[in-house]
Chains A and B, each alone.
Chain A
Amino acid sequence: MAGAVLQGVNLTRWFGGLCAVKEVNFEIQAGEILGLIGPNGAGKTTLINLVTGYYAPNGGDILYQERNIAGMKPHTINNMGIARSFQIVRIFPKLTVLDNVRSGLVDRRTRSPIRVALDSILRSRDSQMIGRAGQARGEELLDFVGLIQYRDELAENLPYAYCKRLEIARALATEPRILLLDEPSSGLNPKEQNDQITMIRRINAKGITILIVEHVMKVIMDISNRIMVLHYGEKIAEGTPEEIYRNPKVVEAYLGGETSAQG
């Protein structure tokens, strides 16, 4: 399909006797913001884990840059240009906010660990992303997400909402083409949600394709170009926000009141 930057073909993943993702076919168009919704347990996070390499699918393929990346390791996939955030944030607590971002700046795409070690020994502080260049770029990213004033603070001291932003900044540091966000709005109050919508839009404006999993309806309806709906591991609907909103199957799937109260 023209314009598709990532494609999932018949993706399937089992956990014991439970089928978490069942023959899901999807496409992400270059430059769009694709929303992924569904009741709890629908398989949304599993799908993200499949795409980013944390799980290998039991069946199906994931096509990216004319390669099948299904089953590749997370670091390989990241080095190919796909980054993510986590549902429960995974920042580096004892590193400073700036260092959290700078850790993402290190070029591991082209260099093996031994090469990185050698570069570090021979060039130390000036070595690429840890020297002045890294400082500047790191600050730029922090500024972009609005955390610049906390740059020297230990990440573990940040309030939760800021940690989420930090994680996104760190993911952006790896210069991804696609960014997968796993429930970035959970735990945020309405004002924070609005700020986040703005930020995600700005990320998208830079040309980064985004897949966003979300429970908070307000955010996802507002921000997505298209939305995909999963239910019990299967894709039950796909379309523009308006189409999804009115889709009877979607309404039925949610008719258990599992939507976020803030939606």
Chain B
Amino acid sequence: MNRTSIKLLFGILGAMVLLALPFLIRDRYFQHLLVLSGIFVILSTSWNFLAGYSGLLNLGHVAFFGIGGYSSALLALKLGLSPWVGLPSGGIIASLFGICLGIPSFRLSGPYLAITTIGFSEILRLISMNWVELTRGSLGLYGIPPFTALKLPGGLSIRFVSEQNVYYLVLIFVVLTLVLMHKLTHSEFGITLKSMREDETGAESIGINTSRYKLTVFMISAFLAGLAGSLYAHYIRLISPEMLSLGETFSVLTMVMVGGLGTLFGPVIGAVLLTFLSEGLRFLEDIVKIDIRFIIYGALLILTILFMRNGIVGLFRKAGQSDSGRPGD
């Protein structure tokens, strides 16, 4: 059919562009932004899984990001473990913390859950600032080793210090994340989550153990966020408690809302857009000498919710169909 083959064509073209991108645009700063975008795509997608598909408002999500980053960094710095071990470990440790937030979510909803999650991330941030023996407090951790080089058969080895190579690494994880998301949402698991989001009482009546599903969602979401944190730590190689600040959560929020809550590509568009926008604004700030970046974020968030509730993806959908409704497939 026509639509499918067009989609396929776009998909293949898009993939080719993505693969060739670092060679097409060689500016290192641009590549750096690509890497950051990729990491934020994973983070945003993980938040979207919670809030968009499952209706669980987690305003402390960066806690998982920070836990992943700090765990991975500490494992490398203090125990000398390879970052390749730290990567999944960061995810798993974050996932365990995901259980901590998952449990309150059984009985709390809306603002109550929101405020509890904020409390969680703030407590963690305070810990990371004050437990100086472990985290060096506000100074943060520096000198985090990059991903160790992979040795290929034939004598070549790939190092992960340059933006270009890390880009491909991150790209792989982005693709894996999106595939995972798609499979989870367009399946029995997905329909179960949607049922829970629509009517929890009704969902219980058809055998859905809402508590355990919420827990599972938190664990998966936290894992992905932790993974993103670990990628971030071994790329930027310097992390601080700022990683756990509310400002970061709000960035993620804005990315997903602008892109389109509850969609697969919404977080992708939002993350890329806002990462680049943020840098663009930084230049603007230098020129205009005014701190307008976050003001624009705030305004963007408000305007999106008032006028563009389903984000950019929603706008495209509206153009294609007659009904727009809430987060859907």
Contacts and interface: CB of A to CB of B under 8 A. Distances in A.
A259 interface: no
B28 interface: no
Interface stretch (B14-22, B40-48, B79-87, B196-204): B196-204
Interface in B175-189: 180, 182-184, 186-189
B260 to A, nearest CB: 15
Contacts of B204: 54, 73-75, 78
B89 to A, nearest CB: 19
Interface in A84-105: 84, 86, 90-95, 99, 102-104
B254 interface: no
Interface in A141-190: 154, 167, 170-171, 173-174
B191 A106 contact: yes
Contacts of B205: 52, 74-75, 78, 83-84, 86, 90, 171
A167 B199 CA distance: 12
A119 interface: yes
Contacts of A37: none
Interface residues of chain A: helix, strand, loop or mixed (majority): helix
**Nearest 8 A/B pairs, CB to CB:** A120-B187, A90-B202, A92-B198, A120-B189, A78-B207, A74-B204, A113-B216, A103-B195
Interface of B: 180, 182-184, 186-192, 194-195, 198-199, 201-210, 212-213, 215-216, 220, 323, 325-326, 328
**Which size class do A's interface residues fall under?**
35 or more
Given A91-B202, A109-B207, A113-B215, A103 B194 contact: yes
Contact of A106 (B188, B201, B220): B188
A4 to B, nearest CB: 23
Given A90-B202, A117-B189, 20 more contacts: A52-B205, A74-B204, A75-B210, A78-B205, A78-B206, A91-B199, A92-B195, A92-B199, A99-B194, A113-B189, A113-B192, A113-B215, A114-B216, A116-B189, A116-B192, A120-B183, A120-B190, A121-B180, A121-B187, A170-B206
Contact of A95 (B184, B195, B207, B212): B195
Contact of B183 (A107, A124, A170): A124
Nearest to A123: B187
A174 B184 contact: no
Contact of A90 (B180, B199, B328): B199
Nearest to A180: B205
Interface residues of chain B: helix, strand, loop or mixed (majority): helix
A119 B190 CA distance: 11
Nearest to A85: B205
Nearest to A101: B206
Nearest to A167: B202
A158 B282 CA distance: 50
B183 A121 contact: yes
B208 A108 contact: yes
A167 to B, nearest CB: 8
B188 A120 contact: yes
A103 B191 contact: yes
Contacts of B184: 117, 120-121
Contacts of A104: 206-207
Query: Taking each of B187, B194, B206, which has the highest tally of chain A beta carbons within 10 Å of its own beta carbon?
Result: B206
A78 B204 CA distance: 8
Contacts of A167: 202
Interface stretch (A127-135, A211-219, A250-258): A127-135
Query: Taking each of B182, B183, B210, B212, which has the highest tally of chain A beta carbons within 10 Å of its own beta carbon?
Result: B183
Contacts of B212: 112-113
B201 A174 contact: no
Contacts of A173: 206
Contacts of B202: 86, 90-92, 167
Query: Taking each of B180, B186, B187, B328, which has the highest tally of chain A beta carbons within 10 Å of its own beta carbon?
Result: B187
A79 interface: yes
Query: Taking each of A92, A103, A154, A174, which has the highest tally of chain B beta carbons within 10 Å of its own beta carbon?
Result: A103
8 contacts: A78-B204, A90-B199, A90-B205, A92-B202, A92-B203, A103-B194, A129-B188, A154-B323
A120 B195 CA distance: 16
A125 interface: yes
A13 to B, nearest CB: 18
Contacts of A113: 189, 192, 209, 212-213, 215-216
A93 B198 contact: yes
A85 B323 CA distance: 29
Nearest to B195: A103
A228 to B, nearest CB: 22
Nearest to B204: A74
Contacts of B187: 119-121, 123-125, 127, 130
Contacts of A108: 192, 207-209
Contacts of B194: 92, 94-95, 99, 103
A117 B220 contact: yes
Given A86-B202, A94-B326, A124-B183, A119 B208 contact: no
